[in-house]
Protein backbone atom coordinates (compact mmCIF):
# COMPACT_ATOMS: atom_id res chain seq x y z
CA UNK A 1 0.00 0.00 0.00
CA UNK A 2 2.88 2.36 0.66
CA UNK A 3 4.11 2.01 -2.92
CA UNK A 4 0.70 2.85 -4.34
CA UNK A 5 0.47 5.99 -2.22
CA UNK A 6 4.03 7.01 -3.06
CA UNK A 7 3.52 6.33 -6.75
CA UNK A 8 0.34 8.40 -6.72
CA UNK A 9 2.17 11.23 -4.95
CA UNK A 10 5.01 11.20 -7.48
CA UNK A 11 2.64 10.97 -10.44
CA UNK A 12 0.59 13.86 -9.07
CA UNK A 13 3.70 16.00 -8.60
CA UNK A 14 4.93 15.26 -12.12
CA UNK A 15 1.48 16.01 -13.54
CA UNK A 16 1.33 19.33 -11.69
CA UNK A 17 4.80 20.23 -12.95
CA UNK A 18 3.81 19.45 -16.53
CA UNK A 19 0.57 21.41 -16.15
CA UNK A 20 2.52 24.43 -14.90
CA UNK A 21 4.95 24.19 -17.82
CA UNK A 22 2.12 24.06 -20.36
CA UNK A 23 0.36 26.92 -18.61
CA UNK A 24 3.53 29.01 -18.68
CA UNK A 25 4.08 28.38 -22.40
CA UNK A 26 0.50 28.97 -23.50
CA UNK A 27 -0.93 31.56 -21.12
CA UNK A 28 -1.96 34.85 -22.76
CA UNK A 29 0.48 36.66 -20.50
CA UNK A 30 3.32 35.25 -22.60
CA UNK A 31 3.65 38.81 -23.82
CA UNK A 32 4.95 39.79 -20.37
CA UNK A 33 7.93 42.05 -20.06
CA UNK A 34 11.34 40.37 -20.00
CA UNK A 35 11.60 41.08 -16.26
CA UNK A 36 8.25 39.44 -15.52
CA UNK A 37 9.16 36.48 -17.72
CA UNK A 38 12.45 36.04 -15.84
CA UNK A 39 10.60 36.17 -12.52
CA UNK A 40 8.15 33.50 -13.70
CA UNK A 41 11.00 31.24 -14.81
CA UNK A 42 12.74 31.75 -11.46
CA UNK A 43 9.53 30.84 -9.62
CA UNK A 44 9.19 27.64 -11.64
CA UNK A 45 12.82 26.74 -10.97
CA UNK A 46 12.24 27.24 -7.24
CA UNK A 47 9.17 25.01 -7.33
CA UNK A 48 11.05 22.31 -9.24
CA UNK A 49 13.84 22.43 -6.66
CA UNK A 50 11.31 22.09 -3.84
CA UNK A 51 9.73 19.08 -5.57
CA UNK A 52 13.13 17.47 -6.01
CA UNK A 53 13.91 18.04 -2.32
CA UNK A 54 10.58 16.50 -1.30
CA UNK A 55 11.18 13.53 -3.56
CA UNK A 56 14.64 12.95 -2.09
CA UNK A 57 13.27 13.20 1.46
CA UNK A 58 10.67 10.47 0.87
Residue 56 has a pLDDT of: 83
32 CA to centre of own chain: 20
Q: How many CB atoms lie within 10 A of CB 22?
A: 10
Rounded mean pLDDT for each run of 10 residues along the chain, 58 residues in total:
58 76 79 79 89 83
Residue 22: which residues within 8 A CB-CB, separation 6 or more? none
Residue 6 has a pLDDT of: 64
Please give the residue range of the domain that contains residue 39. 2-57
User: In the chain, how many domains are there?
Assistant: 1
How far is the CA of 25 from the CAs of 5, 6, 19, 28, 39, in angstroms? 30, 29, 10, 9, 14
Residue 31 has a pLDDT of: 67
Percent of the chain whose pLDDT exceeds 90: 2
Amino acid sequence: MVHVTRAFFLQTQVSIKMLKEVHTRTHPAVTLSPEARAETKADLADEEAELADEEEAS
